[in-house]
Amino acid sequence: MIALGAHALPSRAHNFAYLDEQTKRMIRRALLKAVAVPGHQVPFASREMPLPYGWGTGGIQVTASILGADDVLKVIDQGADDTTNAVNIRRLFAKTADVATTTRTEDATVIQTRHRIPETPLREGQILVFQVPIPEPLRWLEPRETETLKLHALADYGLMQVDLYEDIAQYGRIAQSYDYPIEVHGRYVSSPSPIPKFDNPKLDRNPALLLFGAGREKRIYAIPPYTHVKSLDFDDHPFTVEKWDRPCDLCGATDSYLDEVVTDDKGGRLFCCSDTDYCEKRRAASAEKGVP
């Protein structure tokens, strides 16, 4: 008998975390394969979920498969816990799994994210689940799946390098600013999902387990803890991250990814941390200290 919390509808018989147990086993098998071969895309039988493709069904299926009754779940979308997407996904799991949820990164055991990695450093034992639209980093260069499979199998990544060359030739620098291609464990070239390149360094030797789910494309991949992850570049055009010339207008942080928010129609704008939890904590800390 599954313990139903206050949100659960007693008359519905959803399985724990929505998915049936056989599906979870199938996904866990895929996850194990993915972890065994870091960065390699493992196909899985993506199920129909209560929201359409393009809304994080891959991430949801991964989360559903690994969630246990004792887990504490955080869901963010572009760094924020309070956007529609994040709220709905959190609510889905609260309803069907009756797990505790949180907005505090350090308190979560499982974090599902769309397009950002939290600023607060992760620790061993935590799992970060990424929502991935297009898992194939070569897709835009080579449309044939038959061919990209071979390229990955043969570690034939010249094409990716050609793409970067072309950026430099046309724009003077590598123009890719999000979904920046990475080399995982010295072998597979992967897509880190559309996180800003600012977050790429966080992938390298992260103590947490990083899982990637693409529902529409039906692929799962993983970066195990402490795996070496390198962002592709040229020797004379090394990988660099974005910088802002001002701190967060709300909390004063100079080390986080800032969103630009338009505040009025006279050109007014403010820059604030995209990671709402991070920003909130900093503000709370300075309020405690009495810092204005």
The site for another protein (CB under 8 A) is made up of 150, 153-154, 156-159, 161-163, 165-166, 168-170, 234-237
- The residue (of 134 and 141) whose beta carbon lies closer to another protein is 141
Distance CA 47, CA 57 (A): 8
- The one catalytic residue in 56, 58, 59, 251 is 251
- The one catalytic residue in 79, 213, 248, 272 is 248
Q: Is 272 marked active-site?
A: no
- In the DSSP assignment, the letter for residue 21 is H
- The residue (of 162 and 285) whose beta carbon lies closer to another protein is 162
Distance CA 82, CA 74 (A): 11
Torsion 137-141-147-150 (CA) sign? negative
Q: Which neighbouring-strand residues pair with 33?
A: none
**Cβ at position 135, least distance to another protein in Å:** 22
Q: Residue 244's closest CA among 235, 252, 232?
A: 252
Q: Is 279 marked active-site?
A: yes
Residue type, 62: V
Phi, psi of 221, rounded to the nearest 5 degrees: -145, 170
Q: Does residue 62 sit in helix, strand or coil?
A: helix
The single residue listed with the structure tokens 């260069």 is: 141
**Cβ at position 137, least distance to another protein in Å:** 15
- The residue (of 24 and 40) whose beta carbon lies closer to another protein is 40
- The residue (of 6 and 154) whose beta carbon lies closer to another protein is 154
**Cβ at position 152, least distance to another protein in Å:** 12
> Looking at the chain, how many residues does it have?
292
Q: Does residue 130 sit in helix, strand or coil?
A: strand
**Cβ at position 28, least distance to another protein in Å:** 31
- The one catalytic residue in 39, 56, 213, 215 is 39
Phi, psi of 268, rounded to the nearest 5 degrees: -70, 135
Taking the CB of residue 47, how many other CB atoms lie within 10 A of it? 17
**Cβ at position 176, least distance to another protein in Å:** 15
Query: Which distant-in-sequence residues (6+ apart) come within 8 Å of 88 by Cβ?
Result: 51
- The residue (of 82 and 166) whose beta carbon lies closer to another protein is 166
* Catalytic positions: 39, 248, 251, 273, 279
